[in-house]
Structure 1
Amino acid sequence: MAMTQAQQMLNKYIEAEMAVLEGRSVTFGGRTLTMADLNQIRDGQQEWERRVASETAATKGGRFGYSLATFE
């Protein structure tokens, strides 16, 4: 199965987070990010995680974000 753009972006954010946590700076999207930018990296990572989950749910024919329950 080919990797989607969303999965590729998520992988880049994970790599960027790991690099910053190791004390390195990383150039991402034309910006150099350091430990001070970790929250921005994590925000972007969460966005791409949502997109990957949404794509995965769509390919399985399901819906993402909620489920239904019946209470008797």
Structure 2
Amino acid sequence: MTTSQQMLERYLEAELAVLDGRSITFGGRNLTMADLNQIRTGRMEWERRVAAETAAAAGRGNGHSLAAFS
């Protein structure tokens, strides 16, 4: 099973490879500079997932808090 952190690392590697002018095969597709926005979108999604998992593990829940007014 692939973890969110592992997926984030794969997206970071793909982004760096494309930025270096190389193409990379990711998820069965050959990606080039033209695919950089897709790679970045995927990276940002996995960054959000890792952050949410980290927050949950630290007991911070989903980042929302409730205020009680009397």
TM-score (norm 2): 0.86
Contact 1:23 1:35 in 2 (8 A): yes
Return 5+ residue gaps in structure 2 as ranges. none
Determine the structure 1 residue equivalent to 2:41: 43
Q: How much identity, in percent, do the aligned residues show?
A: 71
4+ runs deviating over 3 angstroms: 64-69
Distance 2:42 2:63 in 1: 19
Determine the structure 2 residue equivalent to 1:56: 54
- Letter of the aligned partner of 1:58 in structure 2? A
Contact 1:16 1:41 in 2 (8 A): yes
- Asked if residue 24 in structure 1 is aligned to residue 26 in structure 2, the reply is no
- Letter of the aligned partner of 1:62 in structure 2? R
Residue 63 (structure 1) shift: 2.4
Distance 1:23 1:68 in 2: 47
TM-score (norm 1): 0.83
